[in-house]
Structure 1
C-alpha cells in the first residue's frame, strides 16, 4: 500500500483553489469567494459519510489507515503467493502433474462415461488457471455437458483431430504459422510513426505535445489519428498528420497479405471455404450471409441518422467544406463540442464516485456488494492494486474476487481491460463452487479525487459488466463459464451494463461535486449524455465500416495488395461518413489480429443490448425484477445454452437479426439532440 499511502498524503484540493480561476475571470468577487468557501467547508464536514468504497478509490482515507483484513476466505493462485518465481514454477509443475493423472484416469474409463466430460473440464481448469494468470500478467445439468462437449469438439477439430495424421500435423503447422502472422501484424499496427515537422505558428495548440523544436518548427510524434488533427485549424496539416499515422510500406503491406493468406491456408486444410466460414461454426450468427445481412441493414438504416447528426455538427462547427475528410472529422467534432459547452461532468465523476455507482447498481439489480479488503503479502503485482470481495447481500457469502489495477504507471498497458484469472465452476468431488477471480485495469493518474468524466465512467461500467458476467456464472464446467460464450455474444452484458451509467435515476445517487458534495443537476447530466450518445452514432458508423472490411477480407482469398487496398477503399466509400482518399486505414486495425472474421461482434452486441434495454430496463432502470431475470436467464448461464435461448428468456418477443437492427436504430434515434 506504499503508493496508496503516498497519494493519500497529497493535499486536498480546496474550494478556494477551484474558484480562483473564476475569480480572475471576473465572475466572482473576493467576498463571494470567501463566503462560498465557508459554505463548502461546512458541506465537507457533513459529508464524511461518504462510502468506504468511494474513499478508497478516491485515495481519501487517513494516512496510516489500512484496508480491513478479509473476513472471508478466498482461494486462488494469487492468494497462494504464486507471483514469486519459484512458487509459480511449482504451481505450473503441479498443474501438469494433475493433468497427467486426470488423463490417465480418463483412459481407464469406459467409452461414453459422463465422467469423461468432467475430467476433461478438470484438465482444462488446471491448465487455464495457469494460462489465464500468465496471459493477464503478460498483458497486464446435462445441457451444460452437451455445450461443454461441443466446445471441446470444436477446439479439437480446429487442430485436425478428426483427420489422418499427416493432415492433422499439416494443420498444426499451418496454425502455428498463422498465429505468428497474427502476432507480426498486431506488432506492425503498433509501430512508431515517422517524426513530423510542422510550422510552430500554425499549430500553437500542439506545443505541449512536441518531441523537440527546430528553428520555427515543432517536431511531433503522431501517436494516434485524432489527438493532433483535432487541435489543428489548417486542413492540409491535419491531412499530413493523419497520413503519417497510417503510412505503410512494403513490409506492412506484406504483413497484411501474410495474415490473410495464412488464415485461408488453415481454412482450406480444415476443409472450409474461408476463414469466415470456419469461425462462424462457433458464433451466434452461424452463416456468413447472416453476418453480411446484419451489417448491410445496420448501415442502411443508420445512414439517415448519421447524415442528420453530421449536418448538425458541421453547422455548429461552421465547417464550409464540400465533403468531410477523415482527417477533418476530429477537428469538426471538437469545434462542435466547444460550441455546445460540453463539460464532461469531470467535477462530479471521480473514480471513487463511479465505483460507488457500480456498487449501487449491483446491489440493486443482483443483491451483491463490493467490499475493499487488504491483500496478503506477495498477493498483488503492484502496491497500488486494490482488492475487492464481492459478497451476497442475501447470505453474506463471498461469491467472487476482483483486483482493481486502476492507476497509471510505467511499463504497464494503461488501457481499460478485464481479465479472467480463475473461472467459476463446480468442483467435481463435492460440487462446491470454485470462486471466480478477475482483474480490471485502467490507466488513470494516481491523484486524489481523480476525475473520470462521463465517457470514462461508461467505460468502467462496461468492464464491470464483463466482471458480473463471470461472477454470476453458476455453470458446472469452467470452459463454458462466464464470458466463455460465443464471441459475437460476449459483449452483450458489458454493453448493457454501460447503459446504467447514463441513467439519471442512478447517476444522481453517486455523481456529486468533488468540492460541494452536491449531486449533478438533471439538466447538466442530460446535456452531456445527449452529446455523448449522439456522437456514438458516428462511432457506430466507423465500427460497422471496419466490420464490413474485416468480413470481406476473410470471405475471398487475397489476390494482391493492390486488390486488397481497393477492396478496403470501396467498402469505406460505400459505408463511411468520411473520405480517406487512398489512406491505408487497415494498417492500424489491430483487431484484425484478434477479431479476424468476427469484428462485427461489437456492432451485434451493441444492437442486442439496446434491444434488451428496451425490453427490460427502459421503463424502470432500477427494476429488481428485471435484474433478477437478467441474472437467472442470461448471466448465470455462461455458454451452457445458445445465445438465442438466453435471449428468449429475457425478451417479450422472439429474437431476430432484423429485430436487433430495428431496436438499435430506435435506441440511437432517441440519442439525437432535438
Structure 2
C-alpha cells in the first residue's frame, strides 16, 4: 500500500505481507497479463473439464463423486467469475471484450454440462443409494443435492424431446432477459412542443425531441418530476411484449421441469421455501405497516401542501423528494457536515478495529504485483486471522473513473475450498465502490451513505472470507438470496451505532470526534418516510411474486401492476405508465425480490438479540462466525438463523423485527442508556 492520503490504514495495516516481486496477470493469474490470455485460461479450464468428466464416469458413487463435481465447477468458475467482473470493470476495452467472449464460451459449456446425461447419471447413482447418502457428512450431502437440483431445473431428468425443449427455453429466456435489461435503461423521448417551455432546460433536447432518461426524483419542481415520471414510464410496446414473453417462457420452463409455477422453482432451498410463505410474510408486513404508512403519506402530503398549495394531491413521484425535504428541515443532516469525520482511511481503520475485536481478524495492506490489478488506485488487502493465518484477499476498487459502472457491489473472483492436498484454496473478492478521488492535501471524504455502503459491502467480503466450506460451490455468498444479504445488512446496524462510529470517526483536520448528537440526528432522520419506503418495497415484492406465480390468462402485466399498487401502496396508479418495464430486478431476482426485506428482518433480529447490548462482544462474534458465516450455502439457511438466534423464527417474528426498526427510539435506545 502506498502512503497517499486517501487510503492510509495506519501502522498495523501498513506493515502487511511483504511485496511480491516480478509481474503477474490479473489477480495473479499468469495467463491474464494480456487480453488474449482469456482464451488461454478458458482452454486450460476446458482441458481440465474433459479430464474430470472422464473421471466422474469412472468413479464409483461416494463422497469422491461430490469432490469431482465441485472441482469441475471450480475449474469453470475460476474463469467465468473473473471474466464476469472484468467485462464490466476493466478500463481497457480489449480486456472487457475478451472477458465477455470468455463468459459466453464458459456459459455455453455449462449449459452443455447441465444436460450431460452421463454426468447426471454418475450423481444420480449416489443420490439413489440411501446407505451411501446416509454415510455422507451433512455438507457433502447438501452439496450433492444442490448439484442435482441444478441438473433438474435444466430438465435433464426428462425424455430427450422434452430435454431439448428445456434447453431451447433456457436459451430463449437468456436472450429475453438480456433484451429486457437493455430496455429498462433505454431513454424515452417526446416532441418538445408537448412539454411546457419552462421544462425544456431540465431535459436533454435533441432536435425537435426532449429525451428523458430517468425519473428526476430529486428535482424540486413538481412539474419536472411529473413530466419525467409520465414520459420515462410511458409503455413501450416492444418492452411490454418482451416482459410478457419472458414471464411466459419462465412459466413454461417451470412446468416442464416439474414445478407448478416459476416462483416454486426459484424459492426451493431459501429461508422462505415457498411462494405461499413469501406472500404470507408480505401480506402480514403490509397489514402491520398500514397505519404507519398512512401517517407517513399524510406527513409528506402536508409538506407538499406547504410548499405547493396548488398541487395538494400526493402522487407517486412525490415521496422521495418531500421525504428528503422533511429530513433536511427537521434534522440538519447536510452531508458536508459529516464528511470531514468520515475520511476513507478512518473508515477502514474502523472496520479493522471492529473485525479485530469481534472476529480476531486484521486487514493488512499488501502491494500488488505488476499487472495484478486493473487500475493503479486499486488496493489489495490480506485478511488475516490471529490463529488461522491468511484467509484470503480483498481487492478494493473504490474510486470513480471514466466508464466504471456506477454501482456498489461485491464480486467473488475465486471461491474458497478444501483442495485434494489438504491446503485451502484462498478466496479472492473485489469490492467496487464509486468514491471521489482524493485532492491535494485532502483525503477522500465519505458521506454517511457512502460510509454505510462501505460497511455493507465489507459484510459481503467477510462472508466470503469466513465461509470456510469444503466445497467452492457453496462458499461464502453462494447461498440462497434471502440469506446472502444478511451479513451485509447486519453491518449497516454497526455503521449506525455510536459506540462503533465513535471509535473511528474523527475530523480529518482537527482530530475532533464526531459528536454523539450528530449520529442520533442521522439515525432519527432515516425514520422519516421509512414506513412508506418499506411499503413501496412490499408492493414491488408482491408484484414480483404475482408475475412469477400462476400465470394469468388474458391479463396484462400493467393490469396486475395497477391492482397491486392500489392494494399494496395506495398512491394512485398513473394512466399510461408501466413502471414494471423499468423493473430490472425482475431478471436477476425473479420471484426473489422479497429477499431484501427478509434478509433485513433476519439481520435486525440478530442485531437486537445478539449485538445490541455490546457490539464488540467477542463471544457473540465467534458464535456469529460459527453459526452463520462459516457455512456459506452448505447448510440450510433457516438452520443457520436458528443456530444464531437459538430459536426458529416465525413469519410474525420477521414482521415484528422490521416494524420495530421504524420506532423513533430504536437506535437512540443504546445511546441514551450509556
TM range (shorter): 0.7 to 0.9
Aligned-pair distance for 1:514?
Answer: 2.8
How many angstroms apart in 2 are the aligned matches of 1:550 and 1:660? 20
1:238 aligns with 2:231: no
* 1:615/1:652 contact within 8 Å kept: no
In structure 1, the residue matched to 2:436 is: 445
How many angstroms apart in 1 are the aligned matches of 2:657 and 2:247? 34
Q: Could you say if the C-alpha distance between residues 647 and 403 of structure 1 is closer, same or farther in structure 2, counting changes exceeding 3 Å?
A: same
Aligned-pair distance for 1:653?
Answer: 2.8
1:490 aligns with 2:484: yes
In structure 2, the residue matched to 1:337 is: 327
**CA-to-aligned-CA distance 1:80-128 (integer Å, 9 cap, x gap):** 3343234332222121111211221222112x22211111111111111
Q: Could you say if the C-alpha distance between residues 329 and 99 of structure 1 is closer, same or farther in structure 2, counting changes exceeding 3 Å?
A: same
* 1:418/1:463 contact within 8 Å kept: yes
Aligned-pair distance for 1:419?
Answer: 0.2
1:540 aligns with 2:509: no
How many angstroms apart in 1 are the aligned matches of 2:339 and 2:407? 19
User: What SS does the aligned partner of 1:370 have?
Assistant: strand
How many angstroms apart in 1 are the aligned matches of 2:505 and 2:73? 43
Note the 1:491-510 alignment, pairs <5 A.
Answer: 491-510=485-504
**CA-to-aligned-CA distance 1:262-297 (integer Å, 9 cap, x gap):** 111211221322111221223222222111000111
Aligned-pair distance for 1:311?
Answer: 3.5
**CA-to-aligned-CA distance 1:622-657 (integer Å, 9 cap, x gap):** 211111110011100111211111112111332222
Q: Could you say if the C-alpha distance between residues 71 and 577 of structure 1 is closer, same or farther in structure 2, counting changes exceeding 3 Å?
A: farther
> TM-score of the superposition, structure 1-length normalised?
0.84
Note the 1:510-659 alignment, pairs <5 A.
Answer: 510-560=504-554, 563-576=556-569, 578-582=571-575, 583-659=577-653
How many angstroms apart in 2 are the aligned matches of 1:516 and 1:169? 68
How many angstroms apart in 2 are the aligned matches of 1:252 and 1:107? 45
* 1:389/1:400 contact within 8 Å kept: yes
* 1:343/1:528 contact within 8 Å kept: no
> TM-score of the superposition, structure 2-length normalised?
0.84
In structure 2, the residue matched to 1:114 is: 63
* 2:362/2:385 contact within 8 Å kept: yes
Alignment match of 2:151 (pick from 147, 152, 156) = 156
**CA-to-aligned-CA distance 1:328-365 (integer Å, 9 cap, x gap):** 22331232133122223222223333222222221121
Once the two structures are overlaid, the 10-residue window that deviates more, 398-407 or 246-255, is 246-255
- In structure 1, list runs of 5 or more residues that go unmatched: 13-47, 57-65
In structure 2, the residue matched to 1:399 is: 391
In structure 1, the residue matched to 2:418 is: 426
User: What SS does the aligned partner of 1:650 have?
Assistant: helix
Q: Could you say if the C-alpha distance between residues 621 and 312 of structure 1 is closer, same or farther in structure 2, counting changes exceeding 3 Å?
A: farther
Note the 1:218-233 alignment, pairs <5 A.
Answer: 221-225=211-215, 228-233=216-221
How many angstroms apart in 2 are the aligned matches of 1:73 and 1:357? 33
**CA-to-aligned-CA distance 1:487-518 (integer Å, 9 cap, x gap):** 22111111111111000001011112233221
How many angstroms apart in 1 are the aligned matches of 2:217 and 2:488? 31
Q: Could you say if the C-alpha distance between residues 186 and 671 of structure 1 is closer, same or farther in structure 2, counting changes exceeding 3 Å?
A: farther
In structure 2, the residue matched to 1:304 is: 291
* 1:357/1:509 contact within 8 Å kept: yes
In structure 2, the residue matched to 1:390 is: 383
Note the 1:35-434 alignment, pairs <5 A.
Answer: 51=10, 69-70=18-19, 78-83=27-32, 84-110=34-60, 112-140=61-89, 142-194=137-189, 211=204, 221-225=211-215, 228-233=216-221, 235-315=222-302, 318=306, 322-340=312-330, 341-344=332-335, 345-394=338-387, 397-427=389-419, 429-434=420-425
How many angstroms apart in 1 are the aligned matches of 2:417 and 2:25? 13
Once the two structures are overlaid, the 10-residue window that deviates more, 614-623 or 137-146, is 137-146
Aligned-pair distance for 1:53?
Answer: 8.8
How many angstroms apart in 1 are the aligned matches of 2:482 and 2:8? 43
How many angstroms apart in 1 are the aligned matches of 2:639 and 2:328? 46
How many angstroms apart in 2 are the aligned matches of 1:323 and 1:574? 18
Aligned residues: 610
In structure 1, the residue matched to 2:119 is: none
How many angstroms apart in 1 are the aligned matches of 2:10 and 2:211? 43
* 1:316/1:339 contact within 8 Å kept: no
How many angstroms apart in 1 are the aligned matches of 2:458 and 2:261? 35
* 2:266/2:590 contact within 8 Å kept: no
How many angstroms apart in 2 are the aligned matches of 1:520 and 1:634? 32
* 1:389/1:398 contact within 8 Å kept: yes
- In structure 2, list runs of 5 or more residues that go unmatched: 90-135, 669-674
Aligned-pair distance for 1:220?
Answer: 6.6
User: What SS does the aligned partner of 1:379 have?
Assistant: coil
Q: Could you say if the C-alpha distance between residues 231 and 280 of structure 1 is closer, same or farther in structure 2, counting changes exceeding 3 Å?
A: closer
**CA-to-aligned-CA distance 1:20-79 (integer Å, 9 cap, x gap):** xxxxxxxxxxxxxxxxxxxxxxxxxxxx9972599x9xxxxxxxxx99744799999721
User: What SS does the aligned partner of 2:189 have?
Assistant: coil
**CA-to-aligned-CA distance 1:292-318 (integer Å, 9 cap, x gap):** 000111111122222333434444563
How many angstroms apart in 1 are the aligned matches of 2:486 and 2:384? 24
User: What SS does the aligned partner of 2:394 have?
Assistant: strand
Q: Could you say if the C-alpha distance between residues 579 and 342 of structure 1 is closer, same or farther in structure 2, counting changes exceeding 3 Å?
A: farther
What RMSD in Å do the two structures reach over aligned CA positions?
A: 3.0
* 2:502/2:513 contact within 8 Å kept: yes
Aligned-pair distance for 1:548?
Answer: 0.4
